[in-house]
Amino acid sequence: MTLPESRGDTYRISLVCLGNICRSPMAEAVLRARLDEAGLSGRVAVDSAGTGSWHVGEPADPRARAALRRRGYDGEAHRARQFGASWFDSHDLVLALDHANLATLMAMAPTPDAAHRVRLLRSFDESVTDRDDHAVPDPYYGTDADFDTGLDIIERAADGLVDALRWHLGADQAG
C-alpha cells in the first residue's frame, strides 16, 4: 500500500480512536515495539489521540494495560489526548481504528492533502479482504477477551504497516 509522502526527516504517525484509552494506546505500544524490532524507531514517530475529549489526561484503561502486559508491551506511560485539526500539520499519516473515527477525521481534515493522509489502520493488514470488516471493534463495553482480540487485529495491521514503511523509507533512501 502506498503511503503519503513525509514532509520532514521523521515520518510522523498518529493512531486515532474514540477515547484514546483502549484501542489507540494499544496500537501505539504495538507499533512502537514493531518499529524498534525493524530498526525504524529513529525514523518514524508514533503517537495517539481520541476524537472525543472525555478521557483527556487519563492513563490507558486498566484492561488495555493488562492486555499489553500479557504480550510483553508497555502502555503505562500513556496519557489520553484529543485529536485536533492542527494535528494534520504535524503528522504525515493519521490512522483511524474504526469507521466512525475515520468519518470524524475526514470531516475535520482542512484540505484535500490532509484527507489523503487519513486511512484505516486495518487497511494495512494484508490478510483483510474487501469482504472483511476493516474496523478494530471498540472493546470498551466488552471483556478481557475482546481486548485480546483487538490486540490480535492490531498486531497484524502493525506488521503490514511496518512493511509498508520499510519499503517507503527504503525507497526514499534510494531516491
Total residues belonging to the chain: 175
Min separation Cβ 24 and ligand 4NP, Å:
6
Q: Active-site residue among 47, 61, 125, 138?
A: 138
Q: Is 22 a catalytic residue?
A: no
Cα separation, 33 vs 72, whole angstroms? 10
Q: Is 138 a catalytic residue?
A: yes
Asked if 75 interacts with ligand 4NP (CB under 6 A), we say: no
Min separation Cβ 23 and ligand 4NP, Å:
3
For ligand 4NP, the binding residue among 28, 47, 138, 159 (CB under 6 A) is 138
Cα separation, 19 vs 8, whole angstroms? 29
Q: Active-site residue among 12, 22, 23, 125?
A: 23
Q: Is 63 a catalytic residue?
A: no
Cα separation, 163 vs 155, whole angstroms? 12
Q: Which three cell numbers stand for residue 63?
A: 484492561
- Tell me the C-alpha to C-alpha distance, in Å, between residue 126 and each of 29, 120, 123: 20, 13, 8
Q: Which of 18, 5, 117, 132 is nearest to 157 (CA)?
A: 132
For ligand 4NP, the binding residue among 19, 33, 35, 91 (CB under 6 A) is 19
Min separation Cβ 1 and ligand 4NP, Å:
23
CA dihedral sign, ordered 161, 155, 46, 162: negative
Asked if 18 interacts with ligand 4NP (CB under 6 A), we say: yes
Q: Which of these segments, 47-55, 112-120, 122-130, 153-161, binds ligand 4NP (CB under 6 A)?
A: 47-55
Q: Which residue ranges make up the site for ligand 4NP (CB under 6 A)?
A: 17-23, 50, 54-55, 138, 140
